[in-house]
Amino acid sequence: MAGAANGAFCGAPLCRDPVFLDRLRDHAMILFGGALALGCLPPPLQYVCGPFLMAMTRFMASRVMQKSRPVVSERLKHTARMKTDPNYDWNPPDDALQWMIDECYACPDPGQLELGRVCDRLLISNDVSLLSTAFSAQNLILDLFSTDPALGYVDTLRRECSLAFRESGGKWTWDAISKLRLVDAAIRESLRLSPVGSVMLPRKVVKPDGIDVQGWSSPIPKGTHVAAPIEAIHLDADTYPNPREYNPFRFVHPPKGSTPGAARGSDPPRKIRSTVTLDENFLSFGIPGRHACPGRFFALLELKIFLAHLLLNYEVEHMASKPKPIYMLWARYPANSTIRIRKRRSDHP
C-alpha cells in the first residue's frame, strides 16, 4: 500500500524504493504506536518516557529524510529553473509533491520552500494515510475470505473487476475504477464491520455555553472531551440486521421486482451507497460535514485497485472463520494471520 500511495505522492524512484517505504512504515508505527502506548501511562511516567519517544520519532524521521531529501531537492531545483526560464525543457510530474511545491510558490512566505519543510510535508502525508489504509486492506482480506465460498461473493466481485478491466482495454482508468461499484460496497461493509478503532473521532467542547444534546437536561460543558463509539454504532442490530456478519452486498439495493439473489450482486444493482458517503450510522471516515476525512476518496481508490488486482491475479484460500482482532485501548488492529495465496492460472477468465 505504501508503494501505491507514494506513486501518487511523489512518484518514482521513491515509490519503488523498498528502503524508503520500510522507513516510512517504521516512522508511522513509532509515531502512532508510541503515542498510544504513552497514553496508557500515568502522567508522571509520560513526562519520563515522552522525551525518549520524541527522540526515537525524530531519528526515524531523519532516516526517511536521507532518502527523500535528494529527490525533493532535485525537484525544487527543476521547478525554480522552470519558473525563471520559460525555455527550460522540463515537464513537472503530476503528483502531490509537485502540488505542494506549486502551493509554496503561491504563498508569499519564501520559507515555505525550504527543503526540510517540503520533506516534512511529504512525511506527514504518509503518516496520516499509510497505517489506516494498510489496516483496512488487511481487514478487507480477512472479512472477504472468511465468508462461505458457496455464497459466491468472491466470484461476483471478480467478474465485476474482470469486466471493467476488459472494457478499459486492459488498464485501470478512472472510468474503469468508477465501475467497480460492488467492490465499493464490499469495502464499505468491511469498514463497517472492522473499523480501525472502537472509539474514535475525539473532540473537545469549546463553545463557551457548552453543547445542548436532545433529551439531556443539561448541556455538555466547555472543556469536556467526547468521542464516538464507532464499533457500537456499526454493530447496532436496529440499523444493520445480522451486524456481525460480513455481507459485501449489504449496501447494494437491487432493482424493483428483481429476484432475492440480486441483493447479493447477481443482478445489476439499482443503487449502491458508496464508501465515501457518510451518515450517522457509518463513521469510518468521520462525521458527515466539513470535518469529514478529505482523504477518503484517495483511500477508496487505493482499496479498489488493491482488491481488483488481488482478485484478478491471485487465488486466496478461504478461512473457516475470521481471526479475532487485537485491541489496544481504543485501537483495533487486524490479527497477525497467515493466509494461503497463489498466482491465478492464465487460462482463468
CB 30 within 8 A of CB 57: yes
Residues 124-157 pLDDT 10s: 999 988 888 999 999 999 999 999 999 999 999 9
Residue 261 lies in a domain: no
Residues 195-246 pLDDT 10s: 988 888 888 999 998 888 888 888 899 999 999 999 999 999 999 999 999 9
- The pTM score is 0.87
pLDDT category at 266 given cuts 50, 70, 90 is very low
Question: How is residue 198 annotated by DSSP?
Answer: S
Is residue 260 predicted with pLDDT exceeding 70? no
Is residue 160 predicted with pLDDT exceeding 50? yes
Q: Beta partners for 343? A: 314
Do 156 and 124 fall into the same domain? no
Percent of the chain at pLDDT > 90 equals 63
Do 223 and 171 fall into the same domain? yes
pLDDT category at 49 given cuts 50, 70, 90 is very high
Return the C-alpha torsion angle 339, 331, 229, 294, nearest 10. Answer: -90
Last residue of one domain, picked from the residues 146, 178, 212: 146
Specify the pLDDT at position 256.
59
Is residue 268 predicted with pLDDT exceeding 60? no
Is residue 87 predicted with pLDDT exceeding 70? yes
Specify the pLDDT at position 261.
43
Do 312 and 288 fall into the same domain? yes
Lookup result for grid cell 482488491: 307
Is residue 262 predicted with pLDDT exceeding 80? no
Residue bearing the bigger pLDDT, 234 or 267: 234
Do 51 and 66 fall into the same domain? yes
d(CA 283, CA 40): 25
* Cα angle, residue 127 at apex, residues 70 and 232 outer, rounded to 5°: 170
Residue 267 lies in a domain: no
Residue 4 lies in a domain: yes
**Residues of the domain holding 158:** 150-254+272-348
Reading the block at residue 308, the C-alpha cell is 481488483
Residue 119 lies in a domain: yes
d(CA 81, CA 321): 58
Give the number of domains in the chain: 2
Is residue 335 predicted with pLDDT exceeding 90? no
225 burial (CB, 10 Å; 0-12 / 13-18 / 19+) is exposed
Is residue 13 predicted with pLDDT exceeding 60? yes
d(CA 236, CA 244): 9
Q: What is the mean pLDDT of the chain?
A: 89
Last residue of one domain, picked from the residues 125, 146, 167: 146
Do 77 and 218 fall into the same domain? no
Q: What is the CATH number of the domain that holds 179?
A: 1.10.630.10
**Closest C-alpha among 72, 131, 134 to residue 104:** 72
pLDDT category at 258 given cuts 50, 70, 90 is low
Is residue 16 predicted with pLDDT exceeding 80? yes
Do 161 and 142 fall into the same domain? no
Residue 212 lies in a domain: yes
Is residue 259 predicted with pLDDT exceeding 80? no
Do 156 and 192 fall into the same domain? yes
Residue bearing the bigger pLDDT, 161 or 200: 161
**Closest C-alpha among 327, 143, 151 to residue 244:** 143
Do 167 and 192 fall into the same domain? yes
Residue 259 lies in a domain: no
Residue 202 lies in a domain: yes
Q: Beta partners for 342? A: 315
Do 102 and 180 fall into the same domain? no
Contacts of residue 188, Cβ cutoff 8 Å, sequence gap at least 6:
251, 273, 274, 275, 282
Do 93 and 163 fall into the same domain? no
Residue 260 lies in a domain: no
Do 238 and 90 fall into the same domain? no
Over residues 28-48, the mean pLDDT reads 89
Specify the pLDDT at position 57.
94
Residue bearing the bigger pLDDT, 44 or 330: 44
Is residue 161 predicted with pLDDT exceeding 80? yes
